Chains A and B, each alone.
Chain A
């Protein structure tokens, strides 16, 4: 493999505590090495006056699988006039809010993202998810199977059987080649199978005689029993409704008293995702307001919690979530086309297009809340930037979100541009906030932080020798004052150089190589558990519509280049 030495850049690496000092980064055999370990043949990249960081890590996005593809299938208008043609071996790429798999890989890479997590994999559809992951070039990907409405989980946890729950989780992670335990509207999505919902952590789940709170606590315990790399990753109940911040606080409080147990350097026991959608005050859309402060006060003092933001980007987009009842609620509000899939024994999903218009007060308040969360975060290692792609906006807007976070001037300009500017200011905290996220904090929020939360900090998110050589050079000088905030957006949109596992995949903002992407999954070993194996067999015989032998994601077609993280929970 080619050797590289990236010279004289301003390096930002929270893993080593480097805060913009001039340093060289050397690459050999796909890894970062010490400068003196590359030969004289190493290709030099001049990064003078530029910013150097590790490859960024997407902790939560809907980029592969059945509901994403429903979005693609049912929104031809999302592709209209968006295509970039094929060029040599680089495939044609199109779509705006739900790009094709090729465009997904290319766009992430161009922005300097090298690892991404698909946030909700319906286990029955894992083979579909993996086919799409395979066709998404360059970036390493993992996928979170959903557990929060799973019949096995609810039946075991009804009797507080943590060991059985853990054994089942380990089996399902292996069968689906999954990465982490994801919960979406726990209990509420099962209720949706009857057209109902669970809007608080104490609403009983129909028939199953369990509450969301019991599901959440039980899965935290199972997760820590197994010692998985990531914590439970939760989309709580009551998403998107005015006044839902109390449900969010109730959910966060369930993590109280738990301590992370794992060998991956992870400290949290709960990751709360797209927090923006869960930080709402008011009783209706008329008196809707930001409760970011109440949420961040709790998050800031709770070291065993990490969050991501879910920033609204003010675009026309496509919402999609395993929160089936929410999507039905949304289509009743905006009357746009509604897709829904209920998945036997496991989950559901809904898809509805949505337009975040700067002329609508609620959308502008949502925009403010997302930014407030990040600007109020005391520990950037526990608050990560996402757009919950494509729910609050497409991931391709990260550079714009970064601009808003790094420049109070840019925020001010946007606030002024809102049609209901005064009402938005009154319902939020954004106008008075002068914090500007530094490049070091940005590296924490998009690299080192998510890597730590995912239990991948030994592998990526930093530039320490021995780590994967995922390196980005941005044409952005930390020395010079930013005359126009749009420079920030431009620089982070198209990286000057991107290396993935030591291969240069992007040069001057253009994809030059399809890379050698990997599928990351977690192989957790547990003690033999004949009861769980019998239960699985029985459910397949009686209630599933496929046979157990045809359920697993196996082999070269689905996972051609696997990277398995081994976890031993047999002790």
Chain B
């Protein structure tokens, strides 16, 4: 016999779909089928059932082999490492729940660490832009119910956020958008002819690295000012037409991704895109939203902000919180040799960081907490496998539009395995003793 768990939340991307149905065995130990999810989301659930899963912490030995140790020993090792370090870096947090994030922050505060999430290599630049100029935005349901002008700028939801267009942005029939896709005009700005671009009414094939100029040209067009004949590879006439198309809508939205956040101009691209959005509000209603990657990177930013006042790259070393990407951000801390211990949870810097930073991680005392074996666990001294968040344990997560959704547990983790929060609680309690606060 099996049973079906409904309204399951998908712990993959920032779209945070919450309509999944998952079939599990009657004893709640095995997961057999996943409905409604995209291919990646389905895989995420099924992967928890892998037979070769590591289920106990492993400590690297001098000869390079792993030795299985208990969770208590792993907590002791982690607590000692963090308590001894002068500037430990606690990185990741984007693929775990807010409960674990909160517990991690308590530890970070006690040991005087730097805390950073994956925004550091993703939408951190968006946050810098938001700090400079603000952000007019909305929830995804507003797009579904009202939006008739949809811009995808430097993002490719067809592959990166597979259900985004069907659930929220292009196809759904909402309250004021009863004709679904027919109610909407779609503009894609991308140097490549992506699968998303192929669906667009207008595709502006911007010259690489010139998004800032193109966004500026949109604003110049809104002001009816002089424009050079061609900007960023696009004829001025086409830019003016696209600007008019935006103005003529009732409710517009710009979605943007790493094509603009991590290319030349970075935060400035977003800054000008937000300025354009604000500018369009003089003519009609317009919003803008980052296509956040990890399912709970947004949550990490939220929890950090209400506890310390900053959304990422928070330096707690001096007993109070400071923030300045370029100084307190992970890549800079590693590349400049500022950190002396590396703690990773809910992310895989080993696979995504510049090689110089990965080499640095390999040289430092390091702990990696992750259900998977990853390039990061590969270079870490201690690997602590934990239950899959959103599959084997619930907890709160924040969608790309900052809407919080409580995730559901659908199956039990393998016997004896701890969750992120449970393991961190052990570490917290031990750190408290080491710091004389217990």
Interface residues of chain A, those whose CB is within 8 Å of chain B, are 64, 66, 68-69, 72-76, 78-79, 83-86, 88-89, 91-92, 94-95, 98-102, 124-125, 127-128, 131-132, 135, 193-195, 207, 328, 331, 336-345, 348, 351-352, 542-547, 549-550, 554-555, 557-558
Contact = CB atoms under 8 A, between A and B. Distances in A.
Nearest to A554: B406
B226 interface: no
A112 B319 CA distance: 26
A276 to B, nearest CB: 25
Interface string B343-376: 0000000000000000000000000000000000
B37 to A, nearest CB: 14
Contacts of B284: 195
Nearest to B168: A545
With a 10 A CB-CB cut-off, give which of B6, B396, B404 has the most chain A CB atoms.
Answer: B404
A339 B130 contact: yes
B316 A92 contact: yes
Contacts of B135: 74, 339-340
A245 B251 CA distance: 32
Interface stretch (B73-81, B140-148, B150-158): B140-148
Given A194-B250, A344-B139, A547 B7 contact: yes
Interface residues of B, number: 65
B164 to A, nearest CB: 11
A131 B299 CA distance: 11
Nearest to A130: B404
A131 B109 contact: no
With a 10 A CB-CB cut-off, give which of A73, A193, A337, A342 has the most chain B CB atoms.
Answer: A73
Contacts, number: 187
Contact of A73 (B287, B311, B396): B311
A35 to B, nearest CB: 38
A542 B174 CA distance: 7
A328 B281 contact: yes
Interface in B287-338: 287, 301-303, 305-311, 316, 318-321, 323-324
A431 B132 CA distance: 40
Contacts of B307: 91, 100-102, 135
A348 B402 CA distance: 13
B285 interface: yes
A83 B102 CA distance: 20
Given A66-B402, A135-B102, A85 B130 contact: no
7 contacts: A73-B310, A79-B309, A125-B404, A128-B398, A339-B134, A340-B138, A342-B139
A73 B134 contact: no
Task: For the complex of A and B, list the 4 residue pairs with the smallest distance between their C-beta atoms, beginning with the closest.
Answer: A344-B141, A83-B320, A337-B134, A85-B319
Interface in B394-433: 395-396, 398, 402-406
A546 B18 CA distance: 6
B136 A127 contact: no
Contacts of A127: 396, 404-406
A294 to B, nearest CB: 34
Given A86-B109, A337-B132, A547-B18, A345 B305 contact: no
B167 interface: yes
A342 B306 contact: no
B285 to A, nearest CB: 4
B131 interface: yes
B19 interface: yes
A63 to B, nearest CB: 10
A337 B133 contact: yes
A262 to B, nearest CB: 32
Contact of A557 (B99, B127, B301, B324): B99
A193 B109 CA distance: 41
A89 B404 CA distance: 29
B39 interface: no
A397 B61 CA distance: 58
A74 B174 contact: no
Contact of A343 (B18, B138, B395): B138
With a 10 A CB-CB cut-off, give which of B133, B251, B307, B396 has the most chain A CB atoms.
Answer: B307
B403 A545 contact: yes
Given A73-B311, A127-B404, A128-B302, A342 B138 contact: yes
Nearest to A92: B320
Nearest to B286: A195
B396 A557 contact: yes
With a 10 A CB-CB cut-off, give which of A99, A132, A342 has the most chain B CB atoms.
Answer: A342
A70 to B, nearest CB: 8
Given A74-B131, A94-B309, A343-B138, 13 more contacts: A74-B135, A76-B324, A86-B319, A94-B320, A99-B309, A337-B131, A338-B134, A338-B278, A339-B130, A340-B138, A545-B168, A557-B395, A557-B406
B127 A73 contact: yes
A348 B281 CA distance: 15
A69 B109 contact: no
With a 10 A CB-CB cut-off, give which of B102, B136, B139, B302 has the most chain A CB atoms.
Answer: B139
A347 to B, nearest CB: 10
A549 B7 contact: yes
Contacts of A193: 142, 146, 251, 285
Contact of B404 (A84, A131, A339): A131
Interface string B32-74: 0000000000000000000000000000000000000000000
Contacts of B316: 92
A448 to B, nearest CB: 31
A338 B320 CA distance: 28
A225 B372 CA distance: 55
A340 B309 contact: no
B197 interface: no
B98 interface: yes
B1 interface: no
With a 10 A CB-CB cut-off, give which of B145, B146, B168, B250 has the most chain A CB atoms.
Answer: B145
Contacts of B437: 88-89
Nearest to B135: A339
Nearest to B131: A74
A100 B144 contact: no
B136 A73 contact: no
A102 B9 CA distance: 30
A549 B7 CA distance: 7
A195 B406 CA distance: 32
Interface in B227-257: 250-251
B137 interface: yes
Contacts of A86: 109-110, 319-320
B320 A76 contact: no
Contact of A342 (B102, B250, B287, B402): B287
A75 B309 CA distance: 8
Contacts of A88: 437
B318 to A, nearest CB: 7
Contacts of B306: 64, 68-69, 72, 100-101, 131-132, 135
Contacts of B6: 549
B420 to A, nearest CB: 14
Contacts of A102: 307
Nearest to B278: A338
Contacts of A331: 134, 278
Contacts of A555: 406
Contacts of A336: 134
Contacts of A135: 102, 306-307
A339 B129 CA distance: 12
Contacts of A73: 127, 130-131, 301-302, 305, 310-311
B142 A342 contact: yes
A100 B309 CA distance: 6
Contacts of A343: 138-139, 142
